[in-house]
A and B are shown apart, each in its own frame.
Chain A
Amino acid sequence: MLAKRIIPCLDVKDGRVVKGVNFVNLRDAGDPVELAALYDKEGADELVFLDISASHEGRETMVDVVRRTAEEVSIPFTVGGGIKSTEDMKRLLRAGADKIGINTAAIQRPDLITEGSRIFGAQCIVVAIDAKFNLEWQEWEVYTHGGRKPTGIRALAWAQEAERRGAGELLLTSMDADGTKDGFDMPLTRVISDSVGIPVIASGGAGSAKHFAEILTLGHADAALAASIFHYKEVTIREVKDELRGEGVNVR
């Protein structure tokens, strides 16, 4: 039976991990490659790098990070952030990334999903959706630019369009839950996951091992992603997996 996946996410700026990382057994807590290798060893099922570099040089550095990561780790990893063209995708995939995450650029030009999927295969294309509940609509709205800009687009319709255009997976972040540590967004995740035929990674709101178990069972998510609680060792990947096993969830 297919296992549920636990995915740590690293924010990388100009080749360095940003947001505090609280690991004692690291030579250099700012090195994404070293951290990736550690998460691999701890039992992470996949990794996500989010490149938040604003400059061209910063993005070039990311290609090098990807190349070194591919040499060090033996689990799949996704790279997202600032990817605007199939040329950008190609550079990162050739350097050793397994999947490419696209968000704002996909909203601005949905053909990017179609093109990427056709050239590299659906399994390479992860469409990231940042969603927030819109009280007026009584439905979730898609935000772009790192959650700063409302788009007027309904998240559910966008998720289905992304699938139709050839996305292989969705990375769904709830802006309402993100940072609360109160748990993942159950209604959002469930609605989206039940409305598409591709896997959904839930993100935003993880505060405890129990939250992972909830979203992967009741929330119908195929995978769950978190950043800070893993970086600060509030919960370890091992603890999350133990909790999941205890709940009868199939994990690696």
Chain B
Amino acid sequence: MIAVIDYGMGNLHSVSKAVERLGYEAAVTSDPAEILAADGAILPGVGAFGDAMANLRDTGLEVVVKEYAASGKPLLGICLGMQLLFTESEEHGRHQGLNLLPGRVVRFQGKYKIPHMGWNDLEFVGESPLFRDVKPGHVYFVHSFHALPDRKEDLLAVTDYQQPVTAIVGRGSLFGMQFHPEKSGELGLKLLQRFLELTAVRVG
């Protein structure tokens, strides 16, 4: 079973349906026991970083997510859920993240359209089981802040939006995707499928 962690942020229905379409059982849940028992967990999220962390804290799920990550079972953060994996964000002030990956989340700055919204090309820059038999292409992004991992080896894929932008991060069985794989057509589903396959294999 794949736990889609419900902490009051965002569109959980699309994520859980995508998981089910790929042939896995999904449960949208905020129950710590159910999350910790899951074969894989997805931390989705749209909205503001500070609100999301406050929700995770208030619901007691911050500890649960950290415990889950430490268990070595596959965990995937999507969009804001990926940003939450990092140390801190500068979105509306300074906010501590889950600190599972060292790095910061910063605002896009410059004379171009923000949010970075729409389909952009992935470039794989690292090795990952997520990329097995996957050809890079366009996936759907929508975000105004982007993550800067401290460690180069955590960066698996980038896209180009006026600068290289973190698109996929990963270390061991912990992964993050800045784009929405559940909204990114066939390529998005393929990458999500590769993640789900790891829930049977167990890496790390």
Interface residues, chain A, with chain B CB atoms under 8 Å away: 1-5, 40, 45, 67, 70-71, 74-76, 93-98, 119-124, 168-169, 197-199, 222-223, 252
The yes or no answer to B106 lying at the interface (CB within 8 A) is no
CA distance A167 to B128 in the complex (A): 36
The stretch from B55-63, B81-89, B148-156, B185-193 touching chain A is B185-193
B178 CB to nearest A CB, Å: 12
CA distance A169 to B117 in the complex (A): 9
Asked whether, in the complex, the Cβ of B117 is within 8 Å of the Cβ of A123, the reply is yes
Asked whether, in the complex, the Cβ of A2 is within 8 Å of the Cβ of B116, the reply is yes
Q: Which of chain B's residues 138-164 have a Cβ closer than 8 Å to chain A?
A: 138, 140, 142-144, 160-161
Chain A residue contacts of B188, Cβ below 8 A: 74
Asked whether, in the complex, the Cβ of B47 is within 8 Å of the Cβ of A96, the reply is no
Chain B residue contacts of A252, Cβ below 8 A: 119, 137-138, 185
Q: Which of chain B's residues 76-115 have a Cβ closer than 8 Å to chain A?
A: 112-115
Contact of B121 among A1, A5, A74, A76 (CB under 8 A): A1
A236 CB to nearest B CB, Å: 17
CA distance A38 to B26 in the complex (A): 26
Asked whether, in the complex, the Cβ of A199 is within 8 Å of the Cβ of B46, the reply is no
CA distance A5 to B121 in the complex (A): 13
**Smallest CB-CB separation from A5: which chain B residue?**
B118
Q: Show 29 A/B contacts (Cβ-Cβ < 8 Å), sorted by A.
A: A2-B118, A2-B119, A2-B120, A3-B118, A3-B119, A3-B120, A40-B185, A70-B13, A74-B18, A74-B182, A74-B183, A74-B186, A75-B185, A76-B140, A93-B10, A94-B12, A94-B13, A96-B11, A96-B14, A97-B11, A98-B183, A122-B144, A123-B46, A168-B142, A198-B113, A199-B115, A199-B118, A222-B113, A252-B138
Q: A75-B183, A123-B115, A123-B117 are in contact. Are A2 and B13 (CB under 8 A)?
A: no
- The 6 A-B pairs at the shortest CB distance, nearest first, are namely A252-B138, A121-B47, A3-B119, A96-B13, A252-B119, A123-B142
Q: Given A94-B13, A222-B117, output 10 extra A-B contacts at Cβ < 8 Å.
A: A1-B160, A2-B120, A74-B184, A76-B142, A96-B13, A121-B48, A123-B115, A124-B46, A197-B112, A197-B114
Asked whether, in the complex, the Cβ of A96 is within 8 Å of the Cβ of B180, the reply is no
Q: Which one of A45, A121, A197 has the greatest number of beta carbons of chain B within 10 Å?
A: A121
Chain A residue contacts of B194, Cβ below 8 A: none
B181 CB to nearest A CB, Å: 9
Chain B residue contacts of A123, Cβ below 8 A: 46, 115, 117, 142-144
